[in-house]
Amino acid sequence: MLAVSTIPAGLDTVTSIIALVIAVVFHEVSHGYVANLLGDSTAKYAGRLSLNPLRHIDMWGTIIIPLILIITRAGFIFGYAKPVPVNYYNLRHGKWGPVLVALAGPATNFCIVLICGLIVRLLPEGTAFPYLFIMIGLVNAFLMLFNLIPIPPLDGSHVLLVFLEHRPDITRVLERYGMFILIGIMLFAPGFLSRFVFGPAIYLTSWATGISPFELVAIF
């Protein structure tokens, strides 16, 4: 089992950055890849199906916000990449096309959690490498669950809006004020995120890696 004391000084910052970049890049590329499979090649022709991080960097989401969190020792890492362009009118499968594209990102993050869990279980103890994959798994779990919140512009909203297609009044409110609602939750209802995002992400990563939730909290 990985002990916190085995983590070299400064490695937490480096691994946090690596984990965040991997999570957001694979997340966005997955959106574009599935959109391309369903008939929309907008992301492909925009060069956004590449895994090159430079093609996906958002000045605020990928650089400034993560750096502020790291410098201030906020205790967690958060960020995002430039959204992949998708023309939903080109997608096949009607109203379910956008849902499939939206869920591709969280599904990919989930797969990365599973892969990292397998690697952690197979790597020898007493090295720093398990910590790298633990952090990658944690950040991907956080990103997956956060994006499944059914509030625009997050991915989960596409699923909710399908079931609200006969309630355009509610749909308009969510699309217009979704971002403000989301910011309000983050600022004034941190308990919501702890219960439905951070906590479940810890337990998901624990299940994948075999490391107890208490150790994961101490590491993170």
**Cα separation, 134 vs 15, whole angstroms:** 9
**Cα separation, 53 vs 40, whole angstroms:** 22
30 and 105 in contact (C-beta within 8 Å)? yes
Measuring CA to CA, which residue among 104, 84, 196, 85 is closest to residue 159?
A: 104
Q: Is residue 81 within a helix (H) or strand (E), and if so which, with residue range?
A: none
DSSP state of 1: -
User: Is 175 annotated as catalytic?
Assistant: no
Pair of tokens at residue 45: 């022709």
Residue with tokens 């209802």: 189
Measuring CA to CA, which residue among 106, 140, 108 is closest to residue 209?
A: 140
Measuring CA to CA, which residue among 112, 119, 104 is closest to residue 136?
A: 112
DSSP state of 88: G
What residues are labeled active site?
Answer: 28
